[in-house]
Each structure stands twice: as C-alpha cells, then as structure tokens.
Amino acid sequence: MITARQSRAARALLGWNQETLADKALVSLTALKRVESENGLAVHESTRDQVRRALEENGIVFLNSDQGEGVMIVRQDRPRPARRA
C-alpha cells in the first residue's frame, strides 16, 4: 500500500499535477485527493492500487523499510549493457 506522501513525492519526481495522475490512473480527481490526503479519509484499495500502478508504469519505485518509506524514479532511457555470450 502506498502512502499519501509517497504519492505526492512520486508526482513531484514525474513533474505531474494531480489532474495528470488522476487521468493516467483512470480515477477521479476527488478520489486522488483522498489518496493524497493526510486526514485519514477512506479510500477504496482498488483506487490506491490504480494510482500505484500508474506511477510504477512511469518509472516510480516505492521503497518501504523499517526505517521509513520513500520513492525513487528509475531512468528508463539508459542503454542496457551488452550481454556476454
């Protein structure tokens, strides 16, 4: 499960506003605002999952450990190293 802070941070890394993420995740803007709220508003798990998938499809990796949580963006434009035969 992603946190409200992770969603906001991921959007910032991608340079997206809430409208862009809502559109890419196929959720309403109101639903996304609930996902990103720190007020503990109820959110359908399927909505949170759609947001997570939309972000991951665009290079976001969610980090969770006993020390906290975070996000990072993986550059998808890097050439892959050649494999040895």
What pLDDT digit, counting tens, does each position of 27-81 carry? 999 999 999 999 988 999 999 999 999 999 999 999 999 999 999 999 876 555 6
pLDDT band at 84 (very low <50, low <70, confident <90, very high): low
CB-based contact 35:1 (threshold 8 Å): no
Residue 81 forms part of a structural domain:
no
Q: Which domain holds residue 25?
A: 4-73
Q: Please report, in angstroms and rounded to a whole number, the separation of the first and last CA atoms in the chain.
A: 40
State the total domains in the chain: 1
Provide the 3-class DSSP secondary structure of residue 76.
coil
Say if 84 falls within a structural domain.
no
pTM: 0.84
Length of the chain: 85
Q: Is residue 69 part of a domain?
A: yes
Task: Tell me the mean pLDDT in the region 23-29.
Answer: 98
Assess if residue 82 is contained within a domain: no
Which residue bears the tokens 């040895």? 84
Residue 26 in any domain: the answer is yes
- Alpha helices by DSSP H, listed for 1-85, are 4-14, 18-25, 29-35, 45-56
Mean pLDDT of 18-31: 98
User: Which of 84, 74, 18, 79 lies closest to 51, judged by CA?
Assistant: 18
59: domain CATH number?
1.10.260.40
